[in-house]
Amino acid sequence: MANFKLGFIGAGFIARFQTQALTMVRGADLAGVHAPKGAEDLSALSRRLGVGECVVHEDIASLCNAVDAVLIFAPNFARVEIMQTIADAVSAGAPIKGIVSEKPLGRTVAEAKQLLDIAASTGLPTAYFENQLHMKGMNAQKRQLVPQERAMGPLTLARSAEEHAGPHEGWFWDPTRQGGGVLSDMGCHSIAIGWYVLTPAGKPVDFLEPVAVTADLALLKWGQPTYRKRLLDTMGVDYAKTPAEDFATGMVTFRNPETGQLVKAQFTNSWMFDKQGLRVYMDGLGPGYAFEFNTLQTPLQVFIGDEAAEAAADVETALEKSTASRGLLAVETNEPDLYGYVDELEDAVRCFSEGHDAKLNFAYGYQVTRLCQAAYLSAELGRVVDLTDPATDAKLEHYTSLIAQGRGGEVLHVM
Residues 88-139 have pLDDT tens digits of: 999 999 999 999 999 999 999 999 999 999 999 999 999 999 999 999 999 9
SS3 373: helix
pTM flag (> 0.85): yes
- The pLDDT score that the predictor gives to residue 263 is 98
Across 182-244, the runs of DSSP E, i.e. the strands, are 209-218
Domains of the chain: 4-131+341-360 (3.40.50.720), 133-333+370-410 (3.30.360.10)
- The pLDDT score that the predictor gives to residue 67 is 98
Q: Which residues pair with 163 in a beta bridge?
A: 270, 279
- The pLDDT score that the predictor gives to residue 39 is 98
Residue 15 · residue 40 · CB < 8 Å: no
Pairing relationship of beta strands 262-270 and 157-163 according to DSSP bridges: parallel
- The pLDDT score that the predictor gives to residue 252 is 98
Q: Which residues pair with 385 in a beta bridge?
A: 213
SS3 383: coil
pLDDT (tens digit per residue) in 143-159:
999 999 999 999 999 99
Please give the Cα distance from 263 to 256 (Å, whole number).
8
Signed CA dihedral, 24, 64, 95, 82: sign only:
positive
Please give the Cα distance from 49 to 38 (Å, whole number).
16
DSSP letter for 22, please. G
Number of alpha carbons in the 13 Å side-chain half-sphere of residue 263: 27
- The pLDDT score that the predictor gives to residue 162 is 97
SS3 per residue for 68-104: CEEEECCCHHHHHHHHHHHHHHHHCCCCCCEEEEECC
For residue 133, the one-letter residue type is: L
Question: CA-based Rg of the chain, rounded to a whole angstrom?
Answer: 21
Q: Is 329 left (phi over 0), alpha (psi -120 to 50) or beta?
A: beta
Can you give the pLDDT of all 415 residues of the chain as single tens digits?
789 999 999 999 999 999 999 999 999 999 999 999 999 999 999 999 999 999 999 999 999 999 999 999 999 999 999 999 999 999 999 999 999 999 999 999 999 999 999 999 999 999 999 999 999 999 999 999 999 999 999 999 999 999 999 998 889 999 999 999 999 999 999 999 999 999 999 999 999 999 999 999 999 999 899 999 988 998 898 888 999 999 999 999 999 999 999 999 999 999 999 888 899 999 999 999 999 999 999 888 888 788 787 776 677 666 667 777 777 888 889 999 999 999 999 999 999 999 999 999 999 999 999 999 999 999 999 999 999 999 999 999 999 999 999 999 999 987 6
